[in-house]
Amino acid sequence: MSAQPPAQPSAQPLARFAGLLADPTRAAICLALLDGRAWTASELAHHVGVVASTASEQLSRLVAGGLLVEERQGRHRYLRLAGPDTAALVEGLAAFANTSAPGPAPAPRNLRESVRRSAEARARTCYDHLAGRLGVGIADALVARGVVADDTGLAVTPPGRAWLAGIGVDLDGPRRGSRPLVRSCLDWTERRPHLAGVLGSALCAHARDAGWVEPIGTGRALRVTPPGADALHRLLGLTLD
């Protein structure tokens, strides 16, 4: 009796899932939530520039489709991405779209948007890890110094784990769970990878706790502080613009 070929996944669920991000409002909501926070429905409506009823409808579709989860506290409805894998999917699709789209990116609509884009390109959060030129620079430096090996897939080396523990980066804390220790995440502004997984999350948390970076406003953009610039140069040889 001949072996049966493996069953192929159905196209219909894939098409329905892809359709969740086919609407500009839903896509903008998911991109906003890449900062890792939970937003209220009214905050998201204001951010994407739609009325509350439109936002509520689109949010319900994203929750039903599994991209978002919601929590209710009193009269407020808080929403966030469903988890790190969802964030990686959204960031990866944004990077792919940015890379494959013909022609230059749309020009910023005003000075405020131009400033925000520039700040996010320098340094920002991608869910719970560091992205932008800062995140890519840290990834390159960790590989160059043997903290992370990339010869047969990304892995934290034993000397690298000891070095990370020495500077206070904990890889065995509650963030671990079933997440990979380290994985690559394509950066949509640099079009090169930064680090995600447990390592990426732990590095971002350490950078925040140590005062190396601080948020700019309420978005995803980060500012590297003078002590952070000194530490990054001393530990990783990074010279930031």
CATH of 12-82, one of 1.10.10.10, 1.20.1420.20, 1.10.3210.10, 2.40.50.140: 1.10.10.10
Q: What would the pLDDT profile of 142-184 be if each residue is shown by its tens digit? A: 999 999 998 878 999 999 999 999 999 988 865 556 788 998 8
Question: How confident is the model at residue 134, as a pLDDT?
Answer: 95
Contacts of 47 (CB under 8 A, 6+ apart): 28, 29, 32, 39
Q: What is the 8-class DSSP label of residue 210? A: T
Distance of CA 239 to the CA centre of its chain: 23
Burial class from Cβ neighbours inside 10 Å (0-12, 13-18, 19+) for residue 160 reads buried
Q: Domain map of the chain by residue range?
A: 12-82, 86-101+114-236
3 state DSSP class of 185: strand
**Would you give the end-to-end CA distance of the chain in angstroms?**
66
Buried b (16+ CB within 10 A) or exposed e, 175-201: beeebebbbbbbbbbbeebbbbbbbbb
Q: What would the pLDDT profile of 40-98 be if each residue is shown by its tens digit? A: 999 999 988 899 999 999 999 999 999 999 998 888 889 999 988 888 888 888 878 77
In angstroms, rounded to a whole number, what is the distance separating the alpha carbons of residues 18 and 122?
Answer: 30
Q: Answer yes or no: is pLDDT of 1 > 70.
A: no
